[in-house]
Amino acid sequence: MIEPLRLSFDVDCPPAHAFATWTEDPSRWWPSDHSVSGEAGLQVVFEGRVGGRIFERTAGGVEHDWGEITLWEPPRRLGYLWHIGRERAAGTDVLITFHARDDGSTRVEIEHSGWERLGDDGPRWRDANLGGWTSLWPHFVDHCREADDRRLDRAIATLLGYFRLGNRVVTTHLADHVHGPATPSIYDANHTSRIRAAGGAEIDEVFADAEREFASVQHRTCKIDPRTPTAFEARLLLAGYAGEAELQLLLAGELQAAPPAVDIRPVATEADWQAVAALTRLDHLEEAEEGRRPAMAESVTEQMVTTKRAKAPDLQFFLARDDGEDCAIFSSWPGVDGIGKVEDLFTHPDHRRRGIATALIDHAVEDARQRGAGPVLIGAVPNDTPRLLYHRLGFRPLCVLRSYTLAAP
């Protein structure tokens, strides 16, 4: 028996993202000198199923088989028969395992075996493949890092796109001004976002545009995402804006939970929306009682529910029922460019610690994914306990979204 090759390395992304990068996006990172043709611009294809082909396709349309998938268990395990440049009967076995790490990264372990099928050529071919693997995987690691950066941009598009739903948007080259005339008291419906102003003159232009757009609104709010220039955020602080942060967590793989059976239905009728409004009001009263937010007038709660209704049907709300009572709410949106968002979780205090919140999260994540999402975002207030629940369920910290508000002059 010839000893299998065993390699391992870490990539800075979750297993689902690493698995997808290896199998769905190999053309972007697989070097052309690890191919049959050696041509630049070739397409590398993994047909995602047991029995699926692995092959290259040149710019001229010529295909060369590399192997055949023998194990397809996304996002954890991938196996294939590997016979690039050889007959299929001389193929060797590759098993790649993607292990989640506590910090949100992935340990990739590769075992390459079956060298005995090559007879006397087995040891030499094993040594040649060792060199091939060690020169290949750095390309994968680098691309995962680049892909992670692109994923952040997609996440930002979803986070800001959520606020745009149901509102009027005025877009300039420096920012977006989101305005909900029917809900003037709601910061999330009346604000400036996607801010890319860096210099003094650009910042002045964004402020001037906001004054014109929000002349009838009694506040000025700006959303600061990870791509917003720090000079703009500093200018907000100089001007006396008060800020609050929301931690954004991302679920890339499966939810780490086995939720109980709970009666969950989509919000569809006027009676359903009245139940949403009642639970939203209870949520606001509880936040004020615990000192997490200033007390809100009931009219503000009503406006907030109005903003949610305006986002439908893109945003789907759900009600959970327990002991004959509508007791919890949550919502789901498939988002932008494959990254979804779940939002607005609240459970009536009398129905907590029964797994209802976990069941709603599971239901909403599945809804977002059925409607086209892959990874799914959820927001959490940094000093509130739900963030710990989300982390236990498999959501991992991605970024922070800040909101700065100032009373209008």
Look at residue 249 and tell me if it is in a domain: no
What is the DSSP code (8-state) at residue 374? S
Look at residue 79 and tell me if it is in a domain: yes
> What are the backbone dihedrals phi and psi of residue 200, each rounded to the nearest 5 degrees, phi first?
-60, -45
pLDDT of residue 290: 87
Domain of 335, in residue numbers: 257-393
37: exposed, middle or buried (Cβ count in 10 Å: 0-12, 13-18, 19+): middle
Answer with the one of 195, 215, 244 that is the final residue of a domain.
244
Look at residue 142 and tell me if it is in a domain: yes
The Cα 260–Cα 351 span in angstroms is: 14
The Cα 119–Cα 312 span in angstroms is: 64
pLDDT of residue 41: 83
- In DSSP terms, 322 is beta-bridged to 325
135 shares a domain with 69: yes
Answer with the one of 100, 121, 153 that is the final residue of a domain.
153
From first to last of the 409 residues of the chain, give the pLDDT tens digit.
Answer: 899 999 999 998 778 888 988 998 798 899 999 999 988 888 999 999 999 999 999 888 899 999 999 999 988 999 999 999 888 999 999 999 999 887 778 999 999 999 999 999 999 999 999 999 999 999 999 888 767 778 899 999 999 999 999 999 999 999 999 999 999 999 999 999 999 999 999 999 999 999 999 999 999 999 999 999 999 999 999 999 999 999 999 987 778 889 999 999 999 999 999 999 999 999 999 989 988 888 889 999 999 999 999 999 999 999 999 999 999 999 999 999 889 999 999 999 999 999 999 999 999 999 999 998 878 999 999 988 899 999 999 898 999 999 999 987 6
What is the DSSP code (8-state) at residue 360? H
What is the DSSP code (8-state) at residue 174? S
Q: Which amino acid is at 186?
A: I
370 shares a domain with 270: yes
- Please provide the DSSP assignment of 311-330 as one string: HTTTSEEEEEEETTEEEEEE
Look at residue 318 and tell me if it is in a domain: yes
266 shares a domain with 358: yes
* CATH code, 37: 3.30.530.20
pLDDT of residue 99: 92
Q: For residue 294, say if its preceding peptide bond is cis, omega within 30 degrees of 0.
A: no
Contact 367, 332 (CB under 8 A): yes
Total structural domains in the chain? 3
Contact 112, 9 (CB under 8 A): no
Look at residue 158 and tell me if it is in a domain: no
170 shares a domain with 69: no
Look at residue 131 and tell me if it is in a domain: yes
- Cβ atoms within 10 A of the Cβ of 359, count? 22
280 shares a domain with 233: no
201 shares a domain with 132: no
176 shares a domain with 104: no
pLDDT of residue 338: 83
383 shares a domain with 338: yes
In terms of Cα–Cα distance, which of 81, 78, 133 is closest to 106?
78
Q: Which amino acid is at 175?
A: A
pLDDT of residue 208: 97
Q: For residue 313, say if its preceding peptide bond is cis, omega within 30 degrees of 0.
A: yes
313 shares a domain with 198: no
Q: What is the dihedral of CA 232, 379, 22, 157, to 10 degrees?
A: -40
Contact 396, 104 (CB under 8 A): yes
Look at residue 383 and tell me if it is in a domain: yes
Look at residue 141 and tell me if it is in a domain: yes
Answer with the one of 132, 153, 174 that is the final residue of a domain.
153
383 shares a domain with 285: yes
* CATH code, 301: 3.40.630.30
128 shares a domain with 197: no
The Cα 365–Cα 214 span in angstroms is: 35
* The dihedral sign for the CA sequence 145, 149, 152, 153: negative
- In DSSP terms, 67 is beta-bridged to 54, 82
pLDDT of residue 384: 82
149 shares a domain with 36: yes
